[in-house]
Structure 1
């Protein structure tokens, strides 16, 4: 086998493995989608068996956005809004006063007091 033949063999293997990964990802997404009924899933699988490349391309084009949304939900990706970010306290004076009491009692350290005070004023630690 020549060097060029060896390179072509590795490229063939690479493309075949990439194709298999895409097909299994499509199958996984297809069966994880609860909005499709069984007949549509069966039709996609049959088309994927008999016309695999075209079916895979059509599936990714037609259902790509839904694939991305389902993948994000499975991974637990944080939504785009900022509702999860820490905010400054609604009443920083009472939070700082409570932290001062805890510091005086010895329940927290000076560093913890500074962190609580900083969070009450800015929303960041």
Structure 2
């Protein structure tokens, strides 16, 4: 199954709101419009709130459950702290390809400016 970006947005929005997440981004083959039947969904979740950093697995697990294909969830925070060559490549791809799927409407400083 190949999802549209709108279908992905529709599935993640209630979860993002439930956990009061600042933002969720799509990257990888889906963001490049190159997804096929073998593609997974690559998401970067901005946790923002330090309380969620310890419990950040809950929204990730819930997001993975709503899709019928594999989902690779990373945090924006972990992507931006890239140290190894592989992590730096993921960061470069994320920065180049990211598509905003969800963004909380707030006034204030954002961790990651798109």
TM more than 0.5: no
What TM-score does the superposition give when structure 2 sets the normalisation length? 0.25
What TM-score does the superposition give when structure 1 sets the normalisation length? 0.24
Higher RCO (C-alpha 8 Å, min separation 6): 2
Q: Which has the larger radius of gyration?
A: 1
Q: Which has the higher strand share?
A: 2
